Amino acid sequence: MHHGILTTCSITALFLGVTTAGAAERYVPGDHDTIQAAIDASVNGDVVTVGPGTWPEQINFNGRNITVRSSDGAEATVLDGSSTGSVVTINSGESEQAALQGFTLANGWMTGTSCSASGALLEVSNASPLITECIFFKSGGDGTDGDISIQNQANPTISNCLFPDGATTYVICFANLTVKESEFRDADTSIMIAHYGGNMLFESCTFTDIAGNDDNGLGWAWWDATIEFDACTFTRINWDGARKVFNSTTPDPAYGVFSNCIFNCHVPSDITGTWYDNGGNNYIVPVGDSNLDRNVDIFDLLIIINNWGQPDSEFDQSGDGSIGVDDLLIILSNWDSTC
């Protein structure tokens, strides 16, 4: 199976592919039998390169600013947590010089709640690592705070990753998370929550076929939290439910921010709670849908009739600067169109 998002070259990937002068490169297998043994033998600046296969390990960076990368990419290299704990833990002050590149994370187990939670797949606390070119598969657990838990002043970046089945992300307790150029798809529930001072920024990400909770869609922000989307694309979010894209809840301040995004067959009313349109957003609905209800019908026809002859109208379907016959014909030619 091939995922184009994981093969796109990036400056970040090129950077991670270079071992800095004086740093040691440790191979698993070869130099070490396990990934954790290689990490424990490393010092800041070292690179741990892992061969293909399934590795039944739960790894912890233990404060080391090192790169742990696969040699053959995420589809060939699986970190399997055996459903007994967090697959990857980075929680000891690691900086942005700590990096995880090119793994599938699967079969983790979440425990705990709120600021003491451990994410099933990834736990980042008091650290700022880079996670790139990874695949995250939804796991289970007896905790409440998701497959990925970002907490306690953490500030990681997730880049060029794939979330193919609804792995959930919680950002809590005054932590920040940036997600860039990643793909989220085919989830059967909401996939993100920011609360207790947590902040999330999604840049150039795609969200497709997310069957979120009726009231919340992709997810929600609450208790002094924000979720911001810039240059993202949303398609069929909560399609069989209330078609909600996002929700923010009380108590304030908690809000969402959208800028330069594409909403495929979604409209502004699909975003509820407190949110801000920072401009550049494009709501794509059927041609002729003047009232943005995703259907071309009698209500759109009545809008044209009621605004007949008006210049510079927002309901000008033909783009000729006024409401007239051309707009009427567009409505009729697209009658009963829906999405």
Query: What pLDDT was estimated at residue 19?
Result: 46
Same domain, 17 and 101: yes
Same domain, 210 and 242: yes
Query: What pLDDT was estimated at residue 204?
Result: 98
**CATH code: domain of residue 317:** 1.10.1330
Is residue 161 assigned to a domain?
A: no
Query: What pLDDT was estimated at residue 243?
Result: 57
CA distance 168 to 316: 41
Same domain, 239 and 329: no
Same domain, 214 and 305: no
Pairing of strands 88-90, 148-151: unpaired
Query: What pLDDT was estimated at residue 265?
Result: 84
Is residue 4 assigned to a domain?
A: yes
List residues bridging with 271 in a β-sheet: 246
pLDDT at 216 over 60: yes
Mean pLDDT, rounded, for 251-256: 64
How many separate domains does the chain show? 3
Same domain, 139 and 113: yes
Q: What is the pLDDT of residues 60-71, one digit of tens each?
A: 999 999 999 999
Is residue 327 assigned to a domain?
A: yes
**Where in the sequence is the domain holding 300, given as residue range(s)?**
288-339
Is residue 200 assigned to a domain?
A: yes
Query: What pLDDT was estimated at residue 193?
Result: 79
Same domain, 125 and 233: no
Mean pLDDT, rounded, for 79-106: 96
Is residue 174 assigned to a domain?
A: no
For 36, other C-beta atoms within 10 Å of its C-beta total 19
Same domain, 295 and 200: no
Helix axes 298-306, 325-333, angle to 10 degrees: 180
Query: What pLDDT was estimated at residue 3?
Result: 45
Higher per-residue confidence, 225 vs 320: 320
Q: How confident is the model at residue 213 (pLDDT cuts 50, 70, 90)?
A: low
List residues bridging with 233 in a β-sheet: 206, 262
Residue type, 187: A
Same domain, 21 and 133: yes
Structure tokens at 46: 């070292």
Is residue 175 assigned to a domain?
A: no
